[in-house]
């Protein structure tokens, strides 16, 4: 949520910055018109209430003096009725202003490349050597099916498209990956959390999924409850409507959870394999910090996600997304994209974002500064990492000519000593 005071005082700045995210400047004008109408009605209501209080005192005085007060009583009945009508209008306007503001994305940082498409993202750095294969690389889903460790047909039969079964060493590899991530994250100072997987509408609003992205999630029928699309939702909302003690900042959380996404609007994209599923595991990292530290925290968050890929020996690059390609809540997003040999391209495996005070305003998460004044924290989030995509990257990058897959060295202890997956 943007600061409404900032929108009022610097509307041209807001229009210019949000236009880079595809927001029509007319949306800002409409919001300001609603806000001005609401503020005018507040003044009118308060003026009439003051008048009513004054005349009520006059009526009391008249009655004490045994004088006729009927005209003033009749007048005040009408005033009271008018006040009630205005207050009802104010309630409606408050909802309209709130809804209009809730649909506006975060202000992009000046360092974010401007673009209305994903084209134009800036590469920050690359790491690792792409595997040099003297055979034709196979896609991860072909490798998994040939080895009998991934079963997409059974998943489709039981649940539908974009679901699967992990079998045998496939299931163990998935478990090895997320346990490795959790251990690395906790060693780095993140507090491990096991959060709820179903959250209420206030929580979805707090992290920016609602009201704009309801079509992208799965909700419980006849209940205002949603299966989480990411652990970011319950982790950020842990502090919703609370004041974090200053001495506790920064707070770092990590969690493994399933993520449930309807993938609305992605028909035809990555319909095979582990890249775009309706249900997948993800290890998430969330940070809360003071505003002056948030950009350093973003760099640290990005570097930590990179460290996970480096320890797995997977080649990747880091890019800064364009203004329109980053998430609704982000002021800046660094994406880590890992190399996929069969596709001969990099694919996203982690997004590390600084939401500045955007989520904190929506979720009302604050701290007291050195002067005892309440301030909004800055909240950051990043995948650490997407587990299924990591498994896919391992299968493709560590595949051998005979169809087997070598287990990355750091995962061997998590695989019970297994060094190679074979038929």
* 333 in Cβ contact with 306 (< 8 Å): no
Q: Is 351 annotated as a binding residue?
A: yes
Model confidence at 270, in pLDDT bands (50, 70, 90)? Answer: confident
pLDDT tens for each residue of 357-382: 999 999 999 999 999 999 999 999 99
| E strand intervals along 186-303 | 191-192, 198-200, 218-219, 225-227, 242-243, 251-260, 279-289
Q: Is 224 annotated as a binding residue?
A: no
Evaluate if residue 343 carries a pLDDT over 90: yes
- Residues 150-158: what's their mean pLDDT? 98
* 284 in Cβ contact with 387 (< 8 Å): no
3 state SS of 38:
helix
Report the alpha-carbon distance of residue 193 to residue 199 in Å, rounded: 15
Q: Is 349 annotated as a binding residue?
A: yes
- Residues 308-318: what's their mean pLDDT? 98
Q: Is 261 annotated as a binding residue?
A: yes
pLDDT tens for each residue of 165-181: 999 999 999 999 999 99
Residue 27 vs residues 21, 114, 115, 293: alpha-carbon distances, Å:
13, 20, 19, 32
Q: Is the dihedral of CA 358, 361, 364, 366 positive or negative?
A: positive
Q: Is 337 annotated as a binding residue?
A: no
Q: Is the dihedral of CA 94, 97, 100, 105 positive or negative?
A: negative
Q: Is 396 annotated as a binding residue?
A: no
Q: Is 320 annotated as a binding residue?
A: no
Q: Is 255 annotated as a binding residue?
A: no
């Amino acid at each position: 949520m943007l600061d409404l005071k900032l929108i009022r005082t610097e509307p041209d700045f807001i229009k210019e910055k949000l236009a880079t995210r595809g927001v029509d400047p007319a949306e800002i004008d409409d919001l300001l018109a609603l806000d001005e109408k609401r503020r005018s009605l507040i003044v009118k209501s308060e003026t009439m209430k003051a008048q009513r209080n004054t005349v009520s005192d006059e009526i009391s005085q008249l009655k004490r003096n045994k004088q006729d007060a009927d005209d003033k009583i009749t007048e005040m009945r009408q005033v009271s009725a008018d006040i009630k009508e205005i207050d009802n209008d104010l309630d409606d306007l408050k909802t309209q202003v709130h809804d209009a503001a809730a649909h506006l994305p975060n202000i992009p940082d000046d360092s974010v490349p401007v673009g209305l498409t994903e084209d134009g993202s800036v590469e920050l750095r690359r790491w690792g050597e792409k595997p040099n294969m003297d055979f034709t690389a196979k896609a991860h889903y072909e490798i998994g099916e040939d080895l009998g460790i991934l079963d997409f047909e059974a998943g489709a039969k039981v649940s539908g498209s974009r679901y699967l079964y992990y079998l045998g060493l496939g299931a163990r590899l998935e478990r090895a990956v997320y346990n490795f991530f959790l251990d690395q994250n906790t060693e780095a100072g993140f507090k491990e959390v096991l959060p709820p997987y179903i959250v209420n509408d206030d929580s979805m609003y707090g992290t920016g999924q609602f009201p704009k992205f309801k079509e992208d999630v799965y909700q419980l029928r006849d209940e205002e409850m949603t299966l989480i699309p990411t652990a970011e939702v319950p982790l950020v909302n842990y502090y919703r409507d609370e004041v974090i003690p200053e001495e506790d900042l920064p707070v770092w959380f990590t969690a493994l959870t399933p993520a449930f996404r309807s993938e609305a609007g992605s028909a035809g994209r990555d319909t095979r394999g582990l890249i775009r599923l309706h249900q997948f595991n993800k290890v998430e990292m969330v940070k809360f910090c003071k505003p002056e530290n948030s950009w350093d925290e973003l760099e640290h968050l990005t570097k930590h996600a990179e460290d996970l890929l480096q320890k797995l020996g997977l080649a990747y690059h880091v890019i800064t997304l364009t203004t329109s390609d980053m998430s609704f809540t982000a002021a800046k997003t660094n994406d880590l994209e890992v190399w996929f040999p069969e596709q001969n391209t990099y694919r996203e495996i982690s997004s590390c974002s600084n939401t500045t005070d955007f989520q904190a305003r929506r979720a009302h998460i604050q701290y007291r500064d050195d002067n005892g004044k309440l301030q909004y924290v800055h909240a950051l989030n990043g995948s650490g990492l997407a587990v299924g995509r990591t498994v896919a990257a391992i299968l493709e990058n560590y595949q051998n000519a005979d169809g087997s897959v070598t287990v990355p060295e750091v995962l061997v202890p998590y695989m019970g000593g297994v060094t190679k997956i074979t038929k």
